[in-house]
Amino acid sequence: MNKIRVGVSVNNDKIEFLCSPEDTVLDVLRDNLRLTGTKEGCGTGDCGACSIILDDKLVCSCLVLAGEVEGSEISTIEGMAIDGKLHPLQQNFLKHAALQCGICTPGILIAAKALLERNPDPTETEVRYWLAGNLCRCTGYDKIIRAVMDAAAEMRS
């Protein structure tokens, strides 16, 4: 079978990998690069656990073919804390107990970060609709929404 050679930047590191034509970005992140912080919850783009930022766009990495991302910049959960310092979203998720099992947390953090980069002062409704593509089964979302709102306020000040 023919492998495709792809060069990308992942969390600001230049990386090359070989992939099969049917491999998704999620497959490559998890299995080739061993960046297992990005989770697979459904494989069909319905749960958001595999959310990453691909060239400034929030995407489900299970729906993007790895062979098509040559030259892209990818950000994953592993790149969210810089030099060991947690992002305000990460800090607020911990402070608010916005995670129970934690499996959806990487995807939700990435999605929330993408929101705050576009809209630093979202209303509760805006946060709820932006995160409607990220399923969480443990928390009922209450503490997640509060954590995102508080992180946004902190980042604005």
The reply to whether 40 sits near other proteins by the rule CB under 8 A is: yes
The first and second tokens of residue 155, run together, are 């980042």
Which C-beta is closer to other proteins: that of 69 or that of 111? 111
Instruction: With contacts defined by CB under 8 A, name the span among 2-10, 65-73, 113-121, 142-150 that binds other proteins.
Output: 142-150
Considering only CA atoms, which of 91, 123, 103 is closest in space to residue 40?
Answer: 103
Considering only CA atoms, which of 104, 92, 19, 17 is closest in space to residue 60?
Answer: 104
One-letter amino acid identity for 22? E
The reply to whether 90 sits near other proteins by the rule CB under 8 A is: yes
Strand partners, 4: 19
Distance CA 19, CA 108 (A): 27
The reply to whether 142 sits near other proteins by the rule CB under 8 A is: yes
Considering only CA atoms, which of 149, 14, 9, 145 is closest in space to residue 76?
Answer: 9
Strand partners, 54: 57, 74
The reply to whether 43 sits near other proteins by the rule CB under 8 A is: yes
The reply to whether 2 sits near other proteins by the rule CB under 8 A is: no
Q: Considering the complex, what minimum distance in angstroms separates the CB of residue 48 from other proteins?
A: 9
The reply to whether 145 sits near other proteins by the rule CB under 8 A is: yes
What is the contact surface with other proteins in residues (CB under 8 A)?
1, 20, 22, 30-31, 34-44, 46-47, 49, 76-78, 80-81, 86, 90, 93-97, 99-106, 109, 125, 127-129, 131-146
